[in-house]
Structure 1
């Protein structure tokens, strides 16, 4: 979601992907997980791109999965594919409790609150 195509391209790809499934099918949407590079790394640590990806994630009418630390801005210094074996450990670092990106955390709070108010 953080490449040159931008948010419009990402939304079109998501639409195309979800059309493959029945309307009532629940397909959780995650930006990163333990087997891939963290989204902040993929966005080259650009907060604007990361926030755009998060907004896209929450705009889709599917369950949202937030990998631990993403809400705090956790990243990694190189790709998980740069080290074999065990490159995935770069995305599985311990929670960085002292690192906190308040703007990012506030965005998550705002989007979660909106999602809950739309459900009620």
Structure 2
């Protein structure tokens, strides 16, 4: 769909990051950039262009036309220690959020 209907080339929404993490991008809103002004050290960087082939970052193909995407990205955490630490932080954030809601509801 991205290639035929949106003219975005062959972007990949499911790929492995350079870190090795499996990643899935789920776009919710897509905005095509038709016009923009950008300067670097006082010099114009030119107008947005549509490319013939997909540019890449770390081997991940990006859209061929200037695009701004809002949505979600999900990555697999492959390091067991990072997974434990992240899960613990998320649980603490939920617990403190729940406590703040309960405390503010009783005032």
TM-score by length of 1: 0.21
Task: Considering fraction of residues, name the structure with more strand.
Answer: 2
Task: Considering fraction of residues, name the structure with more helix.
Answer: 1
Between structure 1 and structure 2, the one with the greater Rg is 2
TM-score by length of 2: 0.23
